[in-house]
Structure 1
Amino acid sequence: MTRHSTVFERLAPSASAVTESLRSTRSAVFWLEDAPVVSRPQLVGSHTADLTVVGGGYTGLWTAVLAKRRDPSARVVLLEAQTVGWAASGRNGGFAEASLTHGEDNGRTRWPDEYDTLERMGLENLDAIERDVAELGMDVQLERTGTLEVAYEPHQVQWLRDAEHGELLERDAVQAAIASPVYAAGLWTKDHCALVHPGRLASELARVAADLGVEIFEHSAVTGVRTRAGGVAVETGRGVVRSTQVALGTNVFRPLLRRARLSTVPVYDYVLMSEPLSDAQMADLGWRDRQGVSDLANQFHYSRLTADNRILYGGYDAVYHTGGRVRPEYEDREASYRTLASHFLTTYPQLEGLGFSHRWGGAIDTSTQFCAFHGLARRGRVAYAAGFTGLGVAATRFAAEVMLDRLAGESTPRTQLEMVRKKPLPFPPEPFAKIGIEATKWSLDRADHREGHRNLLLRTLDRLGLGFDS
């Protein structure tokens, strides 16, 4: 198979243009700077609760809110190691996708008999989020604009034409929607995604939780979860909460249950945020329908507009560090930012001269099935969910419902799903994890340079149900 250059290699901007675009960029998360800051106490001493929630990201916050809405009299305590929303929940692109399965292809391949049910439940979950935002008065800049999947290369155009959903936009139509000379076609799916402000979603969920009576403690990293007679003790460095039940939403960080420790690996993703576009730049660009945008490459990009008409542009690189380490120094990677800036200018050459104000990175909790898994432990007293693989903005609410169903001992349509009952295959231990992930990344890049053709390694992983995504 002949190796082909990609559009980002054929139409790469000058190195000086890339350097200039990054000249005034600083390492900071735009979403967190643009969200309200509330100081909350640290857990000190002994406390009791009906439910202890570990993790102040979307998973934990939705769990706390929904638990109080189910039973307003329940005492709910939420513990966060840093501050609410500081990790993945405050750093993502803000795409609230209806999909619970990381897209239709992944869902139909893994759960063919129940995919239609999963798709319906995913849409119902997204509808519920939209209702919650309205009913609870949450200022999260929600826009139900859908997503535009774009093709750069001829083989990707054919993939879009073969799709069974969405509105197909051929070259002239897609470029009329968004004026990028590299867009060869697009598929606009209008109902399956909403855009939100990630930082404000986290802060507003915390506000609602507190208004409902949830006790939120920050800077309270959990050091152990110990089963005791009649309950569970959740321990931090300076305190303990004794409760009847526990819900774990620890995302990418080291699981508190031994059984889950090989179920995820942390993969770093990187993002640039532009300065606000002028009215003239917006007129040149189009993008009047404000869809979220992603492309069809294995090493894919995603982009979107903010409320003040900045462009967020991220993806492509997926960086794994040996041993699955999560460290602050991994969040700033110059090579990834230069790659993103170059690809941005290839995509939107009319915006040369526009600078990037913010750059940041964060770790994604990747599972081998590309989407969340769910579990119950300690004789039904501890529920957990993780492995959202970059598509958790909406799916975390569904996961919260699953955990609460299970802790209540209820058999519901959610808990009966094979996707919910089945665990993903674990990642291998080191050094095999590092070797396998790097070989897979190389193979994905090779496929992007060979018209999407997957080599023996990728085909084998597909058959085994093992995945790794950019």
Structure 2
Amino acid sequence: MDFTSNLVWSRTGAEISLPSLCADAECDHLIIGAGLAGLSAAYHILKKFGSRRKVIVVDAHPLGSGASGRNSGMIGPGIGKQYHLLVKQYGDVKARQIFVHTLDALNYSTQLIRDEKLGCDLLMGSQFKVSTNAANDRQLQLEGDALIAAGFDVETYDRKAIKGIVDSPGYLSGLEYKNTATIDPVKLVVSLAKKILAMGGEIYVNTRCAEPQEHFVEANGHSLRFSRALLATNGFTPSLNRLRGRVMPISTSLMLSAPLLPGQMAQLGLQPNNAIIDVRRIFNYLRITPDHRLLFGGGEPFYSTDSVWKRQRDGEPESYKVYAGLSEGLSKFLPQLADISIEKVWSGTIGVTLDNYPVVTRGQSSVDSFVGCCGHGLALSLANGASYANWLEAFSCSPDLPWYRSSAPYLAPPALLPLASSSYIKFLRLADGLSST
């Protein structure tokens, strides 16, 4: 197995050389976090205001080394919870507004990639949610019924039909979201960074910030002054002493196979433009890359300690048992591929909140935020960059959506978060186990 790549998707030398901050600086807009959320914000600010606004992006780590460069590359709709549960909590009108927002984010993101020629192996297709037992099969049916009743263009699949999409003995039914996409996320990060530099923006990596103050932050021991700042730090937000105990840094894991042979592709049945995600609380997902590799991810998450962050930063793997769990999932759901050669394994840190919604804060101080994406960050991050730039022009009211807020539900004191997170993950695993009996 290859454990050497820091930007695990990169196979073409697409990384760019970026400096660290080594002097005091001032700017109109400081973006803390050089992942997709931060880069999208910087790009859209420069696109809207041009040379009238100076934009600086800083990151404590290399470019895109958080969730942005370590995710599945699957772009789809949805946020918070399944659609029928949104209806139950918020009613038909609000649930529809929430889901439409994620569809709009998906459509905006794919159109942006095409219009700006952000080379990232964009492939349009469908995303299939699949059930794995009688209990979550019923929930998936309820979700499909609710989406269809609301007029959304989705399609349901029984066991025979979903077997025609992906040949798995473990999938009972499916729900198709159309016009979704898959990408190479590292190529997208690099493409956005190059656009920002070409427009006059500045990007500094390996530049660690202290807790931001009003119009000021210390970075690498230097003074950085700004008119407005945006925290786009996702799971790393608590390291800035923000939202501690509310945004949890959680790691999820993935593995990437050697290129599948034609016979193995035929056994799997999955087309490269489609992606699969099951609806368990602790779930797996899979897709095929353009060069015919199987990407299989998910499994049991774990708390991202400082040592976990360091291993991810240095491109080192976690313990064998983390990836053994993924192998068990692969063998269970795709037994015909249980013996395929795995070339890469990796983990990445996401930001998770207790209610599964991000925290988007604007205008309450000179420091705004877009954090806690809960694994839905690809489309939302790109679209939020455009929304944020528009807001900077007019300072209009934020949309009436659950994630426009100043905080998130409290889980535990920071010192107890590793234990509390572990207990919560065990609860999810137990709930999955009980629902499968």
Alignment of 1:10-25 (within 5 A): 24=1
Q: Is contact 1:32–1:90 with CA below 8 Å preserved after alignment?
A: no
Please give the per-residue CA displacement for 1:6-52, whole angstroms capped at 9, x wherever unaligned: xxxxxxxxxxxxxxxxxx45464531345601101221222221111
Match of 2:115 in 1: 135
SS of residue matched to 2:17: coil
**Structure 1 residue 267 and structure 2 residue 250: aligned?**
yes
Match of 2:339 in 1: 353
SS of residue matched to 2:430: helix
From 196, 199, 206, the equivalent of 1:219 is 206
Match of 2:193 in 1: 206
From 80, 83, 87, the equivalent of 1:104 is 83
From 150, 166, 185, the equivalent of 2:173 is 185
**Structure 1 residue 77 and structure 2 residue 59: aligned?**
no
Structure 1 counterpart of 2:184, one-letter code: H
Match of 2:156 in 1: 168
Alignment of 1:441-456 (within 5 A): 441-451=425-435
Match of 1:457 in 2: none
Report how far residue 293 of structure 1 moved.
0.6
**Structure 1 residue 395 and structure 2 residue 380: aligned?**
yes
Q: Quick one: distance in 2 between partners of 1:102 and 1:144? A: 24
Report how far residue 335 of structure 1 moved.
0.5
Q: 1:360 to 1:105 in 2, by over 3 A?
A: farther
Please give the per-residue CA displacement for 1:259-280, whole angstroms capped at 9, x wherever unaligned: 5222211112111111110122
Q: Quick one: distance in 2 between partners of 1:226 and 1:319? A: 31
Please give the per-residue CA displacement for 1:395-452, whole angstroms capped at 9, x wherever unaligned: 112333454455445225x444343136321221156544443333233222222226
Q: Provide structure 1 residue ranges, at least 5 long, that are not aligned to the other structure.
A: 1-23, 454-470
Match of 2:284 in 1: 301
Range that drifts further, 136-145 or 34-43? 34-43
Structure 2 counterpart of 1:410, one-letter code: F
Q: Select the structure of larger CA radius of gyration.
A: 1
SS of residue matched to 1:182: coil
Q: Quick one: distance in 2 between partners of 1:324 and 1:374? A: 25
Q: How does the TM-score come out when normalised to structure 1?
A: 0.82
Q: How does the TM-score come out when normalised to structure 2?
A: 0.88
From 330, 348, 355, the equivalent of 1:362 is 348
Q: Quick one: distance in 1 between partners of 2:347 and 2:358? A: 21
**Structure 1 residue 120 and structure 2 residue 100: aligned?**
yes
Match of 1:463 in 2: none
Q: Is contact 2:271–2:288 with CA below 8 Å preserved after alignment?
A: no
Q: 1:398 to 1:114 in 2, by over 3 A?
A: farther
Q: Quick one: distance in 2 between partners of 1:92 and 1:448? A: 23
User: What percent of counterpart residues are identical?
Assistant: 23
Range that drifts further, 82-91 or 110-119? 110-119
Match of 2:150 in 1: none
Alignment of 1:367-382 (within 5 A): 367-376=353-362, 380-382=365-367
**Structure 1 residue 89 and structure 2 residue 68: aligned?**
yes
Match of 2:37 in 1: 59
Alignment of 1:146-165 (within 5 A): 146-162=126-142, 163-164=144-145, 165=147
Match of 1:314 in 2: 297
Structure 2 counterpart of 1:411, one-letter code: S
Q: 1:277 to 1:237 in 2, by over 3 A?
A: same
Q: Quick one: distance in 2 between partners of 1:440 and 1:256? A: 21
Match of 1:194 in 2: 181
Q: Is contact 1:366–1:387 with CA below 8 Å preserved after alignment?
A: yes
Match of 2:401 in 1: 417
Report how far residue 287 of structure 1 moved.
1.2
Structure 2 counterpart of 1:396, one-letter code: S
**Structure 1 residue 383 and structure 2 residue 362: aligned?**
no
Range that drifts further, 334-343 or 433-442? 433-442
Alignment of 1:427-446 (within 5 A): 427-430=411-414, 432-446=416-430
Structure 1 counterpart of 2:157, one-letter code: L
SS of residue matched to 1:38: coil
Structure 1 counterpart of 2:17, one-letter code: S
Q: Is contact 2:272–2:290 with CA below 8 Å preserved after alignment?
A: no
Report how far residue 312 of structure 1 moved.
0.8
Report how far residue 66 of structure 1 moved.
0.8
Range that drifts further, 134-143 or 54-63? 134-143
Report how far residue 218 of structure 1 moved.
1.7
Report how far residue 160 of structure 1 moved.
2.8
Range that drifts further, 160-169 or 130-139? 160-169
SS of residue matched to 1:152: coil
Match of 1:39 in 2: 17
Task: Give structure 1 regions of 4+ aligned residues with deviation exceeding 6 angstroms.
Answer: none
Q: Is contact 2:245–2:414 with CA below 8 Å preserved after alignment?
A: no
Aligned residues: 422
Report how far residue 110 of structure 1 moved.
5.2
Q: 1:404 to 1:428 in 2, by over 3 A?
A: farther
Q: Quick one: distance in 2 between partners of 1:298 and 1:352? A: 23
Q: Is contact 1:415–1:421 with CA below 8 Å preserved after alignment?
A: no
Report how far residue 59 of structure 1 moved.
1.0
Q: Quick one: distance in 1 between partners of 2:209 and 2:414? A: 25
Q: 1:376 to 1:256 in 2, by over 3 A?
A: farther
Range that drifts further, 90-99 or 299-308? 90-99
SS of residue matched to 1:147: strand
Please give the per-residue CA displacement for 1:286-310, whole angstroms capped at 9, x wherever unaligned: 1136311111222110111111011
Please give the per-residue CA displacement for 1:312-355, whole angstroms capped at 9, x wherever unaligned: 1111111126x787532475121121121122122222224311
